[in-house]
Structure 1
Amino acid sequence: MADIRELAELIERFSKEDGAHATSIPHLFLHRLSQPSTPLYSVYEPAFCIIAQGRKQVMVGEQVYLYDASKYLVVSVDVPIVSHIMEASPSAPFLGLRLDLDPAVIGALMMEGDLKAAATAQPGPSLGVSDLSDELIDASVRLLKLLASPQDIPILAPLAMREILYRLLRGEQRARLSEIAFAESKLQQVNRAIGWIKRNFRAPFRMDELTATAGMSASALHQHFKTVTGMSPLQYQKQLRLHEARTLILSQSVDAATAGHAVGYESPSQFSREYRRLFGAPPLRDVERLRDALNAASP
């Protein structure tokens, strides 16, 4: 049986530099960081995540999750998060993997294995942390070993990924996995609302269109949306706007007013105020801080 140290060695072998690394195995990404991070703002998609070395904090709304090499994380819907690598150093870098989850594959495996969906009347939070089993580590190690033999990936990688999903479906996160798979679950209704907001986040907020897309009343959608994402639909839209504006300012060197207008803000002062509330500094000062941190991390 493989152990977490072997998994860490494999991640380090196939991710020589800091950052997130796509691999030749579809949906599999490796993460490495040689120092603790400042808060990182991003949007998580449905995924299974393991930390093989180091420790991380993830915050969704007001919910805080801590996990390390003894735990795994499951994400059930697209959700804005704030993450913080808490333990990492050049001699013992943070090492992790992420496997993106496909609802169709989960659903097919449940039917094939005659695995009944977990009975839940209401959806739970979009993130869940559980103890990492030896079986999950073993399947993950076998998956990563395939990176050394690309000719075996098309045949053997799907088998290892199926085993990982099977182990998850038999574990504590079964409810989240099964909700991802079924289109008419409350979680999927919230997910349809999330998809509508992501497609239309630059436009004025339309609650009537959102509820029609989700197939829920406004009160039910608000309740379930906040349970899953930790925020209201309007707060979710604001976070998407601000994340996109931050990316525009950082990558395209546009000014704050232009970035705010591009993501749907009509008032520059409102944009600056909400940006500062989320990221802790006005747009230009925040981006300068980010660039300084990136430059300091560069070899």
Structure 2
Amino acid sequence: MTIARLAQEIGKIARTDGSHPSAVAALSVHRLSARSDPLPCFYELGLAVIAQGAKQVTLGEQVMSLGPGQSLLTTVDLPVLAQITRADLAEPFLGLMLKLDARHILQLAAQMELPALPREQAPGAVSLSPLDQPLLDAMVRLLQLQDEPQLCASLAPLIQQEILVRLLSGPHGPYLRQLVAAGSPSHQIAQAMAWLKQNFVHDVLMDELAARVHMSPSTFRLHFRNLAGMSPLQYQKQLRLQEARLLMLNQALDAGSTAARVGYESASQFSRDYSRLFGAPPQRDIQRMRRLPADGA
């Protein structure tokens, strides 16, 4: 298999610009025929693969450029800036996103004979690596199930398990294993992030959140920033603003009502924070978003 074959299989599903579901629930494909502005969005636990074109992903001060054949693993929910940097009508951007299951990763890691993680292994939330041939083959086979709906339910879990096994044993492996290793800093911070995602509307004392995951406040803040590229309070703010954007897009709420729904006491502060993150005040940004195709960034 070649990366061109992967692009061909993605193109069969993504015939128009935007994000498209596949026959496999955890797998989506994405197409865009023009470069895009940087777009704030959240990346979940999953693997992104670029088949054609290029994109740039910014996490805090870390800037990653991805081209054909490269894969980006994210181990926790991360607020990033994503930008399509190479795409046109003749060769549109083509990529895929495979969401991963933390429980499945934990089960497989326990069954496999994997080398111990070095103690000095720094916690990491993202891993960038070229797609090796066996993993590329598995990705193509997963996409090809689109043409075999009668076999998809039986074969998709097997191919997805193969992909996870290859991820755990390859360059991305240490990052995944840090995530599921009980007691590791990455695992503790991931627990804090999951709690924040469920409770971001409420004001939270970060020292209490540190205690919840059995860390001192200073250690918690250090590891949180190392993993997420931002402080816990900045992370909570981005959760609120991303949810606000979805509410206004999907439920046609006004900015004042939305601000209260996501935990802001001041509508003017909400508008300032929103403009700083998304580059325009709420109403103008929502009007712009409704004119754009979803690019799956």
Asked if 1:54 corresponds to 2:44, the answer is no
What secondary structure is seen at the aligned counterpart in 2 of 1:92? coil
In structure 2, what is the Cα distance between the partners aligned to 1:286 and 1:257? 15
Aligned to 1:281: 280
Aligned to 1:252: 251
Aligned pairs for 1:191-210 (under 5 A) are 191-210=190-209
In structure 2, what is the Cα distance between the partners aligned to 1:294 and 1:97? 16
Deviation at residue 38 of structure 1 after TM alignment: 2.3
In structure 2, what is the Cα distance between the partners aligned to 1:288 and 1:82? 20
Aligned pairs for 1:16-165 (under 5 A) are 16-121=15-120, 123-165=122-164
Contact 2:179 2:190 in 1 (8 A): no
Deviation at residue 239 of structure 1 after TM alignment: 0.7
Aligned to 1:4: 3
Aligned to 1:241: 240
In structure 1, what is the Cα distance between the partners aligned to 2:41 and 2:2? 30
In structure 1, what is the Cα distance between the partners aligned to 2:138 and 2:201? 42
RMSD between aligned residues: 2.0
In structure 2, what is the Cα distance between the partners aligned to 1:182 and 1:47? 17
| Larger relative contact order (Cα-Cα within 8 Å, sequence gap ≥ 6) | 2
TM-score of the superposed pair, with normalisation by structure 1: 0.92
Deviation at residue 120 of structure 1 after TM alignment: 4.3
Aligned to 1:167: 166
Flag structure 2 segments of 5+ consecutive residues without an equivalent. none
Moved more, 22-31 or 4-13: 22-31
Aligned to 2:260: 261
Deviation at residue 254 of structure 1 after TM alignment: 2.4
TM-score of the superposed pair, with normalisation by structure 2: 0.92
What secondary structure is seen at the aligned counterpart in 1 of 2:42? strand
One-letter identity of the residue aligned with 1:240? L
**Aligned residue pairs: how many?**
295
Identical columns (%): 45
Q: Deviations over 1:199-254 (max 9, x none)?
A: 11111122243123222111111000000000000000111111112222233332
Moved more, 8-17 or 166-175: 166-175
Flag structure 1 segments of 5+ consecutive residues without an equivalent. none
In structure 2, what is the Cα distance between the partners aligned to 1:249 and 1:154? 36
In structure 2, what is the Cα distance between the partners aligned to 1:120 and 1:22? 40
In structure 2, what is the Cα distance between the partners aligned to 1:99 and 1:122? 25
Contact 1:8 1:95 in 2 (8 A): yes
In structure 2, do the counterparts of structure 1 residues 48 and 294 end up closer, same or farther at CA, with 3 Å as the change threshold?
Answer: closer
